[in-house]
Amino acid sequence: MRTGNLPAPPPLVWLIGGSDSGGSSGIQADLKAVNALGGHGCSVLTAITAQNSQQVSAVFSVTPTQLLTQLDTLYTDLKPSTIKIGQLPDSTIAITLANWLENHRREGKPLVIWDPVFYASSGAPLSELSSDSIRQLLKVVDILTPNLLELAYLSQAQNAARAVNDDQALTQLHALSQYFQGDILLKGGHAEDSQTCTDLWRPCGSVERTGASLSSQFSDKTPLATDCSSQQPSPEPSTNTTQQLDEQDKACLVSTYRLSTAHNRGTGCTLASALATALALGYAKEDAVVIARAYLQQALRSGYATGAGAGCLGVGSWPPQQHNLPHWQEIMAPLPQKLSFARLLQPIGIYPVVDDLQWLIRLLPLGVQTIQLRLKNKTTAELEQQIKRATELCRDYQIQLFINDHWQLALKYQAFGVHLGQEDLATADLETIAESGLRLGVSTHGYAELARVLPLQPSYIALGHIFPTQTKQMPSAPQGLKRLQDYVQLCGSLPTVAIGGIDTTNIQSVLQTGVQGVAVVSAIIGAAQPEKALAQLQHHCHHLRAEHRGKL
């Protein structure tokens, strides 16, 4: 029982799989990842393996009774937030588990992630599953995380071998989708690209044949720049894809630098367990994929030798650092890279977002440094007239004016900048915006969208929504202060703006996260005395900055 102000207990992540006596993979790797990311791992053994860093000498399966006793005992007291499945040594164990999950999911539905394990790194077989047992298990699985070898096994490929090119992998994905309708994270570690590792995230509901290039979507001469501060080259979308894509396809490529290390045992276990933990912590699926991939990248960087064979992954930490963050590229909406957007000329500070020129005229004399004009439900003539006049006024006041969405008019009248949402990035002419000197602000709502736009190096990144807001219907849950602080750290030197439900009651805690700007909408235009409300918000901002200067 919780008392006082004790923190909430960590979410429970069930880990169902085999034990690795060498401590590098299986349940041992699972527990390290779950605990490192803030979850609590509960283990259910399906097999005991006798292995070291060089070989697997034996696999001993538990009995169905032993498996069920573990599951039932845990369930009476420690119900899971998520369930991660790894090694299932035989069909009997797989069917027993599938039936148990089917019966208990009626009482609650924790997400189930299956990382299929058929072979050890040495090539030794670890599972012998029939087609029937696989299909029964897939009925109760929500997310599948196979590599190319495992994809072939699951898809019942005639030659049970990994795909050697994109078309073969897509054919196998198509075959698998006939009897699995959940999400798939297809891992690209076995692909032949020597510079990058590219995974394919295919959410439930995407078309079956994505037309994605799994290993060559990015130019093999241009390695991925996941550390945006290092000025390394960024990936370029491939132009070799020939298949027709459905415009509703939501599949994405998740790419990182391929790290050259021999200490890489347990990568699949670690990735899937990190994914399960991020989901248990309440992150959206796309964000959880990015968190898991970033965690794996830092674990690979800190790998170490344990014996004469391949070594073990290190233990990562939270939050992910920018150089470990993967690049997230939507297949149907790829973004150009290698762009350079103009920088801001002064700090952002309190950033009013107003919906009419009259508000802008009213606030400009009050010490505002940055302002956004978000015009909705206006005629073409009204849009042009208001943007033209707003640009002239802000130029006179030397204020940084960002036009929301209407980048063509912002270019025409030489506004200071344009602010775009995620859905607008793929349709806007980003190259022209960058070349013109127009600044770019971008909205983000989590790790996946950050991983998508960080390589662009925009002029600022908006992070939201932080608190509940009635301004507009939001696609995500409120981020809260802890996540905001993590995002600010992840963005590094890029200016950041917090937005969503911020007013005088919470602005001080928002500013303490290190964010450089605070965007406000209803806190000003919905206030009984807007000028007074703006002055109070500015006071908090100036007061906190004065405190920081005093501590230097």
Catalytic one of 139, 412, 472, 482: 472
Is residue 317 domain-shared with residue 367, that is, in the same domain?
no
Is residue 277 domain-shared with residue 413, that is, in the same domain?
no
* Cβ neighbour number for residue 383 with a 10 Å cutoff: 17
Flag whether 77 is in a domain. Answer: yes
Flag whether 335 is in a domain. Answer: no
Domain enclosing residue 478, as ranges = 349-551
What CATH number corresponds to the domain at position 533? 3.20.20.70
Asked if residue 351 lies in contact with residue 372, where contact means CB atoms within 8 angstroms, the answer is yes
Distance CA 34, CA 5 (A): 24
pLDDT value at position 122?
Answer: 65
Catalytic one of 79, 301, 374, 388: 374
pLDDT value at position 319?
Answer: 79
For residue 443, indicate whether it is catalytic: yes
Instruction: Phi first, then psi: give them for residue 487, nearest 5 degrees.
Output: -65, -40
Flag whether 267 is in a domain. Answer: yes
Domain boundary among 295, 330, 365: 330
pLDDT value at position 119?
Answer: 77
3-class DSSP string for 173-217: HHHHHCCCCCEEEECCCCCCCCCEEEEEEECCCCCCCCCCCCCCC
pLDDT value at position 364?
Answer: 95
Is residue 309 domain-shared with residue 394, that is, in the same domain?
no
Instruction: Phi first, then psi: give them for residue 289, nearest 5 degrees.
Output: -60, -45
Flag whether 313 is in a domain. Answer: yes
Rounded to two decimals, what is the model's pTM?
Answer: 0.90
Is residue 360 domain-shared with residue 274, that is, in the same domain?
no
Is residue 364 domain-shared with residue 261, that is, in the same domain?
no
Per DSSP, the residues of 427-449 read: TS-HHHHHHHT-EEEEEE-SHHH
CA dihedral 453, 454, 459, 465 (to 10 degrees): 70
Cα 35 to Cα 15, 315, 509, distances in angstroms: 12, 10, 28
Flag whether 416 is in a domain. Answer: yes
How open is the CA angle 67-73-75, to the nearest 5 degrees?
100
pLDDT value at position 205?
Answer: 61
Q: At what angle do helices 285-301 and 26-36 cross, to 10 degrees?
A: 110
Is residue 508 domain-shared with residue 415, that is, in the same domain?
yes
Catalytic one of 61, 234, 443, 459: 443
Is residue 361 domain-shared with residue 413, that is, in the same domain?
yes
Distance CA 500, CA 522 (A): 9
Domain boundary among 296, 330, 364: 330
pLDDT value at position 546?
Answer: 55
The residue assigned the tokens 């977002």 is 353
Flag whether 123 is in a domain. Answer: yes
pLDDT value at position 286?
Answer: 97
Is residue 216 domain-shared with residue 285, that is, in the same domain?
yes
- pLDDT per residue, tens digit, the chain (552 aa), is 445 567 889 999 999 999 999 999 999 999 999 999 999 999 999 999 999 999 999 999 999 999 999 999 999 999 999 999 999 999 999 999 999 999 997 766 899 999 999 877 666 778 889 999 999 999 999 999 999 889 988 987 544 556 666 777 888 888 898 889 999 999 988 777 778 899 999 998 654 433 344 444 333 333 223 333 333 333 343 333 334 345 456 899 999 999 988 888 999 999 999 999 999 999 999 999 999 999 999 999 999 999 999 899 999 888 788 999 999 999 999 999 889 999 999 999 999 999 999 999 999 999 999 999 999 999 999 999 999 999 999 999 999 999 999 999 999 999 999 999 999 999 999 999 999 999 999 999 999 999 999 999 999 999 999 999 876 667 678 999 999 999 999 999 999 999 999 999 999 999 999 999 999 999 999 999 999 999 999 999 886 665 544 433
Is residue 404 domain-shared with residue 310, that is, in the same domain?
no
Q: Of 510, 403, 410, 420, whose CA–CA distance to 462 is shortest?
A: 420
Asked if residue 152 lies in contact with residue 145, where contact means CB atoms within 8 angstroms, the answer is no
What CATH number corresponds to the domain at position 60? 3.40.1190.20
Burial class (CB in 10 A: 0-12, 13-18, 19+), 205: exposed
For residue 374, indicate whether it is catalytic: yes
Is residue 506 domain-shared with residue 389, that is, in the same domain?
yes
pLDDT value at position 90?
Answer: 95
Is residue 162 domain-shared with residue 53, that is, in the same domain?
yes
Instruction: Phi first, then psi: give them for residue 223, nearest 5 degrees.
Output: -65, 155
Q: Of 177, 447, 111, whose CA–CA distance to 289 is shortest?
A: 447
Given the DSSP bridges, would you call strands 460-464 and 439-444 parallel, antiparallel or unpaired? Answer: parallel
Domains: count for the chain:
2
Flag whether 96 is in a domain. Answer: yes
For residue 412, indicate whether it is catalytic: no
Flag whether 5 is in a domain. Answer: no
Is residue 54 domain-shared with residue 152, that is, in the same domain?
yes
